[in-house]
Structure formats: C-alpha cells, structure tokens
Structure 1
C-alpha cells in the first residue's frame, strides 16, 4: 500500500495531466470543444474546467470518454 503525500498538490497535478490528455485526444480527432459539448450534453464551462485540470465529476469524465470513443482508463491512467 502506498501512503499519501502530506499535501494534495499531487491531485492538482494529476487533474492537469488528465485534462491535457482529454484536450490532446479531442484535438487529435479534430473535434472542437463545441462538438464535444453538444455530443456529450455538457456545458461550455464544464469542458473548459476539465481540460484545464479543475475539479469535475466521474459522470462528466464518462461522458467525454464516450464521446471521444476512448476507454476512460486510457484518459486517466
């Protein structure tokens, strides 16, 4: 078992990495944020928050993964 660090900075770093992966995959597929917003039925602020590494929900990540047709573990590993 791995112990947690004394602070939560690693969580912020991890969220940024996940957001960057999502943005990179969206751009690789030549999709705009607007297309993901419409297909995933999520709002504009939400996709921005995800791609910039801010707090989000598992449901939102699942929607984005489905729209991008990428398994969620590939985006968050």
Structure 2
C-alpha cells in the first residue's frame, strides 16, 4: 500500500480554511446580534473552545459546528462554505 503524498502547502491550506470557517461563524454571529457568550452557552461548549474555533486556532468537531449553526439559525454548510 502506497503512502499518501504530503502536499507542501497542506498546513497552510488547513490553517486558511479554519480561519475562513471562524470568520464565517463570527460574521454570522454578529448578523444574528449575538455575543460569543450567548452562543457558547447555548451551544453547550466552553468559552475557550468557542473562542479558538472562531479565531481559526482550533479544529472543531462536526457536532460542535452543528451546535453552533443551530444556535445561529443557519445550516452547518453556511459556516463551512459561506
């Protein structure tokens, strides 16, 4: 079985995608006139986890993204694809 090639820009691409998702979460939250606190409390996730996701500094589990999307009143694909 062959190795999966590692693309040179893999890490940069992943970071850029996480930041884009975090930006879409922030914009959606602001459009919904919600504070970070109201979202992370309603989504039942920790403050630090939410802040890291919105900043693009952490990977989010799909269940976490689904909770955030539900709280913000959008479909999860809106956060992933914008």
Same fold (TM over 0.5): yes
- 2:30 aligned residue: 27
Looking at structure 1, the residues matched to 55 and 20 of structure 2 have their Cα atoms a distance apart, in angstroms, of 9
| Structure 2 gap ranges (5+) | none
| Structure 1 gap ranges (5+) | none
Looking at structure 1, the residues matched to 44 and 36 of structure 2 have their Cα atoms a distance apart, in angstroms, of 12
| Aligned with 1:61 (options 44, 51, 65) | 65
Count of aligned pairs between the two proteins: 75
| Aligned with 2:50 (options 47, 51, 55) | 47
1:46 is displaced (CA, Å) by: 1.0
- 1:71 aligned residue: 75
Q: TM-score, normalised by structure 1?
A: 0.88
1:58 is displaced (CA, Å) by: 1.1
Q: TM-score, normalised by structure 2?
A: 0.83
Looking at structure 1, the residues matched to 17 and 43 of structure 2 have their Cα atoms a distance apart, in angstroms, of 23
- 2:39 aligned residue: 36
Looking at structure 2, the residues matched to 69 and 28 of structure 1 have their Cα atoms a distance apart, in angstroms, of 11
Cα deviations across residues 16-73 of structure 1 (Å, max 9, x unaligned)? 0000000011011110011011111111001101111122211111110111110111
